[in-house]
Structure 1
Amino acid sequence: MADTEIEIEIPSYFLCPITLAIMRDPVTVSTGITYDRHSIEKWLFTQQKTTCPATKQHLPSLDLTPNITLRRLIQSWCTLHALQRLPTPKPPLTRPHLLRLLSSAAHSHSLQSLKSAAAESHTNRRIMAAAGAPEFLASLITTPAAEDALSLLCALQLPESSLKPLSTPNFIQSLTLILQIGSYESRSYAINLLRSITEIADPSTLTSLNPQFFTEIAQFLKSDDITRKERKSALKTLASVCIWGRNRVKAVEAGVVSAAIDLLLETSEKRMCEMLMGVVEVLCQCAEGRAELVGHAAGLAVVSKKILRVSGAASEKGVRILQAVSRHSATKAVVAEMMQSGVVGKLCLVVQVDCGVKIKERAMEILKAHARAWRNSPCLPYHFISSYPS
């Protein structure tokens, strides 16, 4: 006799209005609607929404109240229908309990209880962020508990208001030291924290960055044992800091231009190429950056190669890099190299294809500026160069 499937109808009020899955830990928001804790926390704290999903009303408070009556009904219903009984969820941390955990960790440097609490729910992580846990964890960066403290800081997914107090020169210096001597895991956590902190730090903090900061970022970029995500975090960090003060020069002297060019030679991934070209473009706004680019054996060639082969954004950045070189660093040797390395041919192609008015205008400016030197280039058709001054 064949097995028969028995369909059990689940009462609609047992289902989470967001996912329509059975609630495991029902909680009620300030509008009176009940949701599963995991689903509503994802809506509020991961997706950064501040409205009730069902009513679309603004939530004046993000507090979640356990619906104990509904949870008991669900558990009773599961028992009645011979389904696995849902375990009673742990209640969220209270502030007094958290303070006791922090006090205990401060004496033993054991963060296991805090890590377990953070893993349980978004609510716990939010309470920890508001109760001073980030500052406490930051104080452990120079102790043997550094790796656990860094991992927990990353796991807390701190909002800007909690990150801001950490964006100090001393903490950035501590993270720089981790990049220099830390384990692989510690370096990974450190670069992710630096990316977040440098995006919101005060300009006064960013302009006072130590040259060692840029040296460690450059070495991190060159590492073979890091992931693409970690490399992108390093590039985002550079993009945030290199626009301030003399940071461009510090980055160039640390070898960032050379590292970026070497990576451009190796990668064809769209987003990675765009980020690398963006960093090179920013650094080419200073004379030291342009000198490093044209001094690299593959600098001009690889920038030219990426134009029209990656994306519109990469092409625009590439032409701007070549424009900066053309305007400010176009010695006789550089102009000759631009022709030999294929730059002239690529610029001519940019002018002829449909790639945006601004890019075409920049390419035309470069070609016209050096028309006399490039008149014999086989890449330029006669009718195209005949209008240039002889």
Structure 2
Amino acid sequence: MDYIDVPSYFLCPISMQLMGDPVTVSTGITYDRENIERWLYAFKNNTCPVTKQVVFDADLTPNHTLRRLIQAWCTLNASHGIERIPTPKPPVDKAHIVKLLNDAKKSPHTQLKCLGRLRSIAYGSERNKKCLEAAGAVEFLASIIKEDEEVGLDTGIEFNKVKDEALSILNHIQTSETDLRKLLGDEGDFVEALIHVMNGENYQSRTHAIMLLKAILEVGDPVHLITIKPDFFFGVVHILQDQKILNQASKAALKLLVELCPWGRNRIKAVQAGAVSVLIELLLDTSEMRACELVLIVLNQLCSCAEGRAELLKHGAGLAVVSKKILRVSHTGTDRAVRILSSISRFSATDRVLEEMLQAGVVSKLCLVLQVDCSLKAKDRAKEILKLHSRVWKNSSCIPPHLLSSYPTC
């Protein structure tokens, strides 16, 4: 394409690119629709990028005159390789979505077709997501997800396909905190439905379910967090075990455990669901920093109870892999790993465990912590552990001489 000067008023002030769908905000400045919608909805700004004035009304007025001028300019410069911008379709409005939802409610047989249209709208723009939420799409999609399977069998519709589609759309909408609270306060029915999906076989739907659960429980109060049922933890463990699950979903599952394990008997529920063994296997298989940090944070929480410590010691690689991550992940990872070893040494230090800590190199790694640059808290905890069992460890031949020299005196 030949170089050609573009009139400055044809360019969007945000991207400085030719506007394909010029719209004017309440401050009188014209932007390209896609750019200003991303600014207002995705980046959650409420000001005009040029004037910095508050945009009180998010409705964007199409600037048809400017669009026609741009199209005419494109036509005149076609010989220079300029393609004419197409006339944009009218944006979806709330009334259109309400009609679509009402049509879907009338007949279960039309639901899949309507969901396909809702998906297209949701993926269209950030503005469309807000419009869907305002029209009641969140409640409609949640009702499908909660629907009993027998309803689908009675009507002859592809029940699982409909539910999977509804889950996908709801996850993409990125529901507001207000609507998330409504879903959480729905007598637990919606959370129960998501837990059921999370324990199912469709890995994509399970991914969507864990992402939604994370968003919902993040706005929950302590009552909701304390009363989470054991099935939830079995579902989370199932997700962490599944190699088909996306890394984003695995991290969401780990973050949920971080949030939930401090509350009530949730640590016991997680341990009983097999979380400790799965977390150790994850530590063995991953070297990604944030994933390792999250695993170590959860393991530290679970090792604050006797059941969690017993499960870690039962695993053949438990002590070794925790020790291995010290000084290899981050300051956070090192701190949590030392805390885990502190819990073991203070509350579960049988003769067998103390000998295993020697043989697995745990004691040597703790001595190394005292010699290198890491947090003072980690150093203090390592020193406490070494002092606590110095009678058993200090004269052991398992500790290399260059590390033994740093062994603290009692």
Offset at residue 15 of structure 1 (A): 0.7
Offset at residue 150 of structure 1 (A): 0.6
In 1, are the aligned partners of 2:387 and 2:409 still within 8 Å (CA)? no
CA displacement 1:247-296 (0-9 Å, x = unmatched): 11100100011100011111111111111111111211222111211221
Q: Which residue of 2 aligns with 1:148?
A: 165
Query: In 2 relative to 1, CA 386–321 (structure 1 residues): closer, same or farther, beyond 3 Å?
Result: closer
In 2, are the aligned partners of 1:134 and 1:153 still within 8 Å (CA)? yes
In 1, are the aligned partners of 2:199 and 2:234 still within 8 Å (CA)? no
CA displacement 1:198-250 (0-9 Å, x = unmatched): 21122212211111111111111111222222211211222222222111110
Offset at residue 136 of structure 1 (A): 0.8
Q: Which residue of 2 aligns with 1:132?
A: 136
> Please, which runs of 5 or more residues in structure 1 have no aligned partner?
none
More off after superposition, 196-205 vs 10-19: 196-205
In 1, are the aligned partners of 2:144 and 2:163 still within 8 Å (CA)? yes
> Please, which runs of 5 or more residues in structure 2 have no aligned partner?
153-158
In 2, are the aligned partners of 1:348 and 1:380 still within 8 Å (CA)? no
CA displacement 1:152-180 (0-9 Å, x = unmatched): 10121222222221224211111111122
Q: Does 1:65 align with 2:84?
A: no
Aligned letter for 2:378? I
The SS at the match of 2:31 is: strand
Q: Which residue of 2 aligns with 1:18?
A: 14
More off after superposition, 59-68 vs 357-366: 59-68
Query: In 2 relative to 1, CA 70–230 (structure 1 residues): closer, same or farther, beyond 3 Å?
Result: same
Kindly report which structure 2 residues correspond to 1:1-390, keeping only aligned pairs within 5 A, or say none: 6-82=2-78, 83-106=82-105, 107=107, 108-110=110-112, 111-141=115-145, 142=147, 144=159, 145-168=162-185, 169-378=188-397, 379=399, 381=401, 383-385=405-407, 387-388=409-410
Aligned letter for 1:55? T
In 1, are the aligned partners of 2:387 and 2:408 still within 8 Å (CA)? no
The SS at the match of 2:23 is: strand
- Separation of aligned partners in 2, 1:98 and 1:235: 36
CA displacement 1:107-154 (0-9 Å, x = unmatched): 221211211222222111101112211111011113511011011101
More off after superposition, 37-46 vs 56-65: 56-65
Offset at residue 80 of structure 1 (A): 2.2
Query: In 2 relative to 1, CA 347–255 (structure 1 residues): closer, same or farther, beyond 3 Å?
Result: same
Pairs aligned (count): 384
Offset at residue 97 of structure 1 (A): 1.4
Query: In 2 relative to 1, CA 61–333 (structure 1 residues): closer, same or farther, beyond 3 Å?
Result: farther
- Separation of aligned partners in 1, 2:355 and 2:46: 59
TM-score (norm 1): 0.93
Aligned letter for 2:130? R
In 2, are the aligned partners of 1:92 and 1:123 still within 8 Å (CA)? no
- Separation of aligned partners in 1, 2:43 and 2:385: 45
The SS at the match of 1:188 is: helix
- Separation of aligned partners in 1, 2:233 and 2:124: 37
Offset at residue 383 of structure 1 (A): 4.5
Aligned letter for 1:9? D
Query: In 2 relative to 1, CA 285–29 (structure 1 residues): closer, same or farther, beyond 3 Å?
Result: farther
Query: In 2 relative to 1, CA 278–385 (structure 1 residues): closer, same or farther, beyond 3 Å?
Result: closer
Offset at residue 352 of structure 1 (A): 0.8
Aligned letter for 2:23? V
Offset at residue 343 of structure 1 (A): 0.9
